[in-house]
Structure 1
């Protein structure tokens, strides 16, 4: 029996360029890369040197603070470059892939009979532990802690996000193995959310608490679901895992091999034929971007969706957690008197000279132009209209900006992640970087309070 969650506050951003439900195999990438920025807060300690030969699934580095937490190679090949920044901080690892792939094999584990500690050790050893994130702080989970519950969102509402029902089709065995294993890591429930339209492979799994979610974005964000199902209080932990990462985890448990394969949605109005591609974590984006063709000379590649993804070069690499790559026109032009005339081709949270509210189902071809410059916060009440969490968004943002730890705690910073503020950032007439403000607030809270 499922429990329904209906979200009323939010905003659907309908964009041109959704990926067609067809999948092609991407051209094999020559070089794969792991970007250390994907593992926020991790202090890496290298296990192999530049020039070393590695197998797929072989550890490259470990977390200096938790030595048993290993991070593995997505492919076999030569570690050709360790890109470093200031103070020799490791930024990126680049691996030149072998033509014939070799994978490090572990003995498969009997998930049903395994203990909590055996499951935990196996995931740490096999390189799948980094897929488990924790709240508060939105970082890789500490294996020495125990969450009160685990959340998985199988309902994607972000603009042009990958259709999870489609990409998970036929992966029921892997999903079930991962769910069974995760269920042994918490004394609470494994909460799985799906859309009300049905068809999700996640809905048929055993050992879950199923929730059917409906409503506009951000109904599909796991933070929204945590807030409505099992809110986080001070001193409590919950873990989250994305559905496609469940597939990789389940395959490791069943076969003993780390398979970094991912089905990625290539979307956006700058793509001629947006569709799905089978590739691997860390692959060069150009291996599937140009296979679909591009419409403009000047466009921006976003590693992720348009609200939470990061800007990437066209020869960049697929992020560790991403299953969407978006390409939209670069908004580097300015409209003469654009602030003082009716607007019919943009989405806005206000009704001042804009008319998107008259046709909520219309699809828009938006570019990256912010349509304004950074300015002081203006109290409009707009954030509250699209922010479904039981939190005061404006007050929390200001508490983070002035580094008021007591206010940050009392206003609910433990519950949120930067992505929960992606929609308020989109509609912000003050052009404030909400996600950056929340990230800095979380880092400060973790450093000072832990």
Structure 2
């Protein structure tokens, strides 16, 4: 029996440039890259050197804290560069792909095998990093036992890929992955889908299905966790995205690590927004220019416009991303823009703005923050779009002043940076909410663990 979740607080940001449901195959990338910044808190130890030949799915490095946790190559080819930063910290690993791909083969195991066997194959195959944990938003600790596992297949973020379209026909892989993950927790595997949607998860077994409705951030897994089974101190939950479940399921069924992704190229700066099949770590340019980009300055975002990271057109697709957004660069300023009626921007206030009159209108927004950084002011705006049972302003301020007791009491264990992406969007103080929460989580983990 499913439990419906209805979210009332939030804000849908309707933007021009949603990807059309038309999929093309991206040009094969010459170089693929693994960005170590995608794995927050992981200290890598290399297993191969520059110039080495690797197969798709062959380990490149392991975590210093857990030698069994391997991170693998998405393609076969030559490791051509290990890019390092300050103190020789590894930032990126680049691989020159072979024209003919060769995969490292693992033994096929039953999704219904015991938990230790499943955990072992996920660790050595490179699929374990797809499992994230809360608190702290890190790659899951294999030694921990989560009280539950959560999957959100309901998308509400602006310009994000439509999972019902990109993952249609992957029911067999989903079932294998979810059956295996159910062996790793004594609790339930919660899967959330859109109410009334034709989701590929609708008829699966070994899960507890939930139907979600409401505005963004109803689709964020953190919102669903808060409504279903909130995290208390000392508890751990794991989360997995639907596109990563496909890779896990295919590994269990075939023994191969297949890094293929169907990604959405979206945004008002793209002439023909659409979907492309490519692989993790591919060059963004291999599908960016295939759809055409409008003249003028634009920003490429690895992910959706609220939580993604700025990258260059010759950057690489992130490890966890299935969306690339391209919107105009907001480096121009509007004369007296603060002192006249505004019809082409989204606002939660009604002071000289009129977006509330047309809730379904689509907007062509740029990256301009429309104001400078300033002191926090108490407005009550965050609470209008923040559906979690948490005081957002007080938690942000506790993180800023590094008050550990207040962080704990105000619910920092329950949230990760993306949960504050919408409050950051509407913030009239122009504060970097996601960065504040990330720094607060890092401090809490360092001091309390």
Please indicate, yes or no, whether the TM-score normalized by the shorter chain is above 0.5.
yes
Which residue number in structure 1 is paired with residue 55 of structure 2? 55
Cα distance in 1, alignment partners of residues 315 and 201 from structure 2 = 32
| Whole-Å separation in 1 of the counterparts to 2:170 and 2:353 | 44
TM-score, with structure 2 as normaliser: 1.00
Query: Structure 1 residue 4 and structure 2 residue 7: aligned?
Result: no
SS at match of 1:426: helix
1:23 is the counterpart of 2:60: no
Q: How far 1:293 sits from its partner (Å)?
A: 0.2
1:412 corresponds to: 411
Deviation per CA, 1:36-74: give whole Å up to 9, x if none: 000000000000001100000000000000110000000
Equivalent residues in 2 for 1:325-336, closer than 5 Å = 325-336=324-335
Local SS of the residue matching 2:407: helix
Question: What SS does the aligned partner of 2:288 have?
Answer: helix
Cα distance in 2 for residues equivalent to 1:265 and 1:193: 21
How far is the alpha carbon of 1:296 from its aligned partner? Answer: 2.4
Partner SS, residue 102 of structure 1: coil
Tell me what 1:103 maps to: 103
Counterpart position of 2:250: 251
Find runs of 4+ consecutive structure 1 residues off by over 3 angstroms.
Answer: none
Give the Cα separation in 1 of the matches to 2:91 and 2:407: 30
Cα distance in 2 between the residues matched to 1:299 and 1:198: 33
CA contact (8 A) 1:132 1:140 kept: yes
The aligned runs of 1:136-147 (5 Å cut-off) are 136-147=135-146
Secondary structure, aligned partner of 1:339: helix
Deviation at 1:204?
1.3
Number of residues of Structure 1 aligned to a counterpart in Structure 2: 449
Deviation at 1:203, TM superposition (A): 1.5
Question: Which runs of structure 2 are paired with 1:20-419 in the superposition (5 Å)?
Answer: 20-112=20-112, 114-419=113-418
SS state at 1:3 partner:
coil
Query: What SS is found at the alignment partner of 2:83?
Result: strand
Q: Cα deviations across residues 247-301 of structure 1 (Å, max 9, x unaligned)? A: 0000001100000000000000000000000000000000000000011231000
Give me the whole-angstrom Cα distance separating, in 1, the residues matched to 2:441 and 2:282.
Answer: 30
State the distance in 1 between where 2:116 and 2:193 align: 30
Distance 2:82 2:295 in 1: 33
Q: List runs of 5+ in structure 2 lacking aligned partners.
A: none
For the 8 Å contact 1:296–1:329, the answer to whether it is kept is no
Task: Tell whether the 8 Å contact from 1:83 to 1:91 is kept in structure 2 after alignment.
Answer: yes
Give the drift of 1:398.
0.2
Deviation at 1:349, TM superposition (A): 1.3
In 1, the alpha carbon distance for the partners of 2:196 and 2:416 equals: 27
Distance, in Å, in 1 between the alignment partners of 2:243 and 2:57 is 17
Which whole-Å CA distance do the structure 2 matches of 1:406 and 1:111 have between them? Answer: 42
Secondary structure, aligned partner of 1:143: coil
Check conservation: 1:277, 1:288, Cα contact below 8 A. yes
CA distance in 2, matches of 1:337, 1:116: 62
Alpha-carbon offset, residue 197 of structure 1: 2.2
Secondary structure, counterpart of 1:276 in structure 2: strand
Give the secondary structure class of the aligned counterpart of 1:201. coil
Deviation at 1:198, TM superposition (A): 1.9
CA distance in 2, matches of 1:366, 1:425: 16
Tell me if the contact between 1:12 and 1:159 (Cα under 8 Å) persists in the aligned partners: yes
What displacement does 1:108 show?
0.5
Using the alignment, how far apart are the partners of 1:155 and 1:296 within structure 2?
Answer: 33
Q: What is the deviation of 1:4?
A: 0.5
Give structure 1 stretches of 5+ with no counterpart.
none
Structure 2 CA distance, aligned partners of 1:321 and 1:81? 22
TM-score, reference length from structure 1? 0.99
- The 3-state SS of whatever aligns with 2:275 is strand
- SS at 2:222 equivalent: helix
